[in-house]
A and B are shown apart, each in its own frame.
Chain A
């Protein structure tokens, strides 16, 4: 290929600091399996910082499985490039690709353990594949099982383990060759909520203890909320948005991110409530303000403040406070009764407190003697 020398010169022109900081760099990656069906991945560019847990979230068919398989060369992209810890993965084949894969471990939705091997045997597999001696394998396997708290189950076959235990074996197996990056393909999707939490805690502690970069594919925003430092939202093969988890949760820019967040953060009103709002102000309406509390602002007595300062009667429609990436995030939707003329000063005041606000509609004032529709 005559383009190769040009590409490699470009590659060496990359500042060293950038290759050091990024564990994974994806450059305008596209993949088309069937031209008639259109691309599965369409010009995806993304960087994952070293030591981060990076969530990639999307609905089924969004292309996240293909994306993660491009990272270890299980899928050959149609165009674009992938670098894992500075090494180009795209274009590799044969022995160099296999060597690269040994630094990129993967855990799977259905665990993918060999039924013919015990837990210890499964953990030994990558070590055997890498050509370690029997003695080295015997030494390392118990340590790896210890790391995931499963030493007692070393001689159990996968069929004798619970889902959570199987995934622990999968994680121990993934860590066997001291990988630089761990790819998690829906690793908790087949587990119950309690086990999911345990596995996520394990991944988090491994990330912290070993400084291992984790790329986590999921369709559940709650998984991202619990452990991811950064998140990328995929929709129909394209990146809808990408950024630090907290910022994405607090200020989602894309509709798809908002819909993923709806069960976690109260960005949008519940549909039955949203239906009762009007989009234009009228003589019989009050404005509805959505206030987003982030970090320190989450602990301020904002509602009381509005009453005292502006004499309005804030009526709370909907709200929720949550912890994301160890920071508090609250979203509150309030009807400002008698507040339409004071909207601008109120919003200026809120932003001076470091809170963002947005008018999301207008609530019809209740007819005297009849409660507001939203509360009926």
Chain B
């Protein structure tokens, strides 16, 4: 089992933990994208001077997102237990852990996508406006496609952060690899379990990063194709 690091008996447990991590990270990644991307768009288009300028709203959303981001995850997780119970029906377990994970990651994702979309040249928005594009068309046909490489990079960073946060979620019974590592590797003095957990997490993070970088490069047409290929092979 796993390079002979783990006692065979721990195999099923390990797989279950891996599944829990995947569930927590996957579900909160999807949810935070669904909520965070519109928030990121809102932060860009309502900024002063933008085409849906709403400075007051922009400040409120910005401040809330900063508040959430500056709260340590473990504190946030405990602080929003009543909300978690309201949404998930329980405050313990893998499903319950998805709620604080999502809440914690939304502001990060929104800020990262906001930064990516802010990089889109203002003249492109002006060009779309001069064609008679509606705000929705500008967002869908200009802002999002032009910022796509940056949005993919934001997605990558978010996923990696989520994998890290998910380890903490073990404290409220969320399970997952991190929890396995703490319970067996640390509390039961089985360093080989800890090592296995770290090896797998490193492998997952590496794969996510590699896939994210590759996707970002593929959707980026700002660099000519020939040079992009050359860069990928160098």
Q: Give A contacts to B, CB under 8 Å.
A: 72, 74, 97-102, 104-106, 108, 110, 112, 114-117, 125-126, 128-130, 157-160, 177, 183
- Encoded as 1 (CB less than 8 Å from any A CB) or 0, chain B from 93 to 128 comes to 000000000000000000000000000010110111
Q: Are A117 and B145 in contact (CB under 8 A)?
A: yes
A158 to B32, CA, bound (A): 33
Q: Are A98 and B134 in contact (CB under 8 A)?
A: yes
Q: Are A114 and B124 in contact (CB under 8 A)?
A: yes
- Encoded as 1 (CB less than 8 Å from any A CB) or 0, chain B from 207 to 226 comes to 00000000000010111110
B191-234: which have CB < 8 Å to A?
219, 221-225
Q: Are A108 and B131 in contact (CB under 8 A)?
A: no
Q: Give B contacts to A, CB under 8 Å.
A: 121, 123-124, 126-134, 137, 141-142, 145-146, 148, 219, 221-225
| Residues of chain B lying within 8 A (CB to CB) of residue A101 | 129-132
Given contacts A108-B123, A128-B141, contact A116 B131 (CB under 8 A): no
Q: How far is the CB of A202 from chain B (nearest CB, A)?
A: 19
| Nearest 9 interchain pairs by C-beta | A98-B132, A112-B127, A101-B132, A116-B145, A102-B132, A157-B221, A126-B131, A106-B130, A115-B222
- Most chain-A CB neighbours within 10 Å: which of B130, B137, B145, B148? B130
Q: Are A125 and B128 in contact (CB under 8 A)?
A: yes
Question: In the complex, which residue of chain B has the Cβ closest to the Cβ of A115?
Answer: B222
Q: Are A160 and B225 in contact (CB under 8 A)?
A: yes
Q: Which listed residue, A74, A125, A130, A159, touches B141 by the CB 8 Å rule?
A: A125
Q: Are B131 and A114 in contact (CB under 8 A)?
A: no
Q: How far is the CB of A241 from chain B (nearest CB, A)?
A: 28
A114 to B140, CA, bound (A): 12
A151 to B120, CA, bound (A): 27
24 contacts between A and B (CB under 8 A): A74-B126, A74-B130, A98-B133, A98-B134, A99-B132, A100-B132, A101-B130, A102-B131, A104-B130, A105-B130, A105-B131, A112-B121, A112-B124, A112-B127, A114-B146, A116-B146, A116-B219, A117-B145, A125-B141, A129-B128, A129-B131, A130-B131, A130-B132, A159-B223
Question: In the complex, which residue of chain B has the Cβ closest to the Cβ of A160?
Answer: B224
Q: How far is the CB of A122 from chain B (nearest CB, A)?
A: 10
Q: Are B148 and A116 in contact (CB under 8 A)?
A: yes
A117 to B145, CA, bound (A): 9
| Residues of chain A lying within 8 A (CB to CB) of residue B219 | 116
Q: Are A129 and B141 in contact (CB under 8 A)?
A: yes
- Most chain-B CB neighbours within 10 Å: which of A72, A99, A114, A116? A116
A346 to B224, CA, bound (A): 66
- Most chain-A CB neighbours within 10 Å: which of B121, B141, B222? B141
**Apart from A98-B133, A157-B221, what 19 extra A-B contacts exist at CB < 8 Å?**
A98-B132, A98-B134, A101-B129, A102-B131, A102-B132, A105-B130, A105-B131, A108-B123, A112-B121, A114-B145, A116-B146, A116-B148, A117-B221, A125-B131, A129-B131, A129-B141, A130-B132, A159-B222, A177-B131
Q: Are A129 and B137 in contact (CB under 8 A)?
A: yes
A160 to B226, CA, bound (A): 9
A128 to B134, CA, bound (A): 11
| Residues of chain B lying within 8 A (CB to CB) of residue A126 | 131-132
A110 to B121, CA, bound (A): 11
Q: Which listed residue, A114, A158, A160, touches B142 by the CB 8 Å rule?
A: A114
Question: In the complex, which residue of chain A has the Cβ closest to the Cβ of B149?
Answer: A116
Q: Are B132 and A115 in contact (CB under 8 A)?
A: no
| Residues of chain B lying within 8 A (CB to CB) of residue A128 | 137, 141
Q: Are A115 and B146 in contact (CB under 8 A)?
A: yes
Question: In the complex, which residue of chain B has the Cβ closest to the Cβ of A157?
Answer: B221
Q: Are A112 and B131 in contact (CB under 8 A)?
A: no
- Most chain-A CB neighbours within 10 Å: which of B129, B146, B225? B129
Q: How far is the CB of B52 from chain A (nearest CB, A)?
A: 13
Q: Are A115 and B221 in contact (CB under 8 A)?
A: yes
| Residues of chain A lying within 8 A (CB to CB) of residue B146 | 114-116
A319 to B95, CA, bound (A): 87
Q: How far is the CB of B29 from chain A (nearest CB, A)?
A: 23
A236 to B142, CA, bound (A): 34
Q: How far is the CB of B176 from chain A (nearest CB, A)?
A: 37
A160 to B224, CA, bound (A): 5
Q: How far is the CB of B123 from chain A (nearest CB, A)?
A: 5
Q: Which listed residue, A74, A110, A159, touches B224 by the CB 8 Å rule?
A: A159
Q: Are A157 and B142 in contact (CB under 8 A)?
A: no
Q: Are B141 and A112 in contact (CB under 8 A)?
A: no
A327 to B74, CA, bound (A): 80
A117 to B221, CA, bound (A): 8
A251 to B129, CA, bound (A): 39
A303 to B30, CA, bound (A): 85
A108 to B131, CA, bound (A): 13
A106 to B126, CA, bound (A): 10
Q: How far is the CB of A365 from chain B (nearest CB, A)?
A: 58
Q: How far is the CB of B128 from chain A (nearest CB, A)?
A: 7
A160 to B127, CA, bound (A): 20
Q: Are A129 and B127 in contact (CB under 8 A)?
A: no
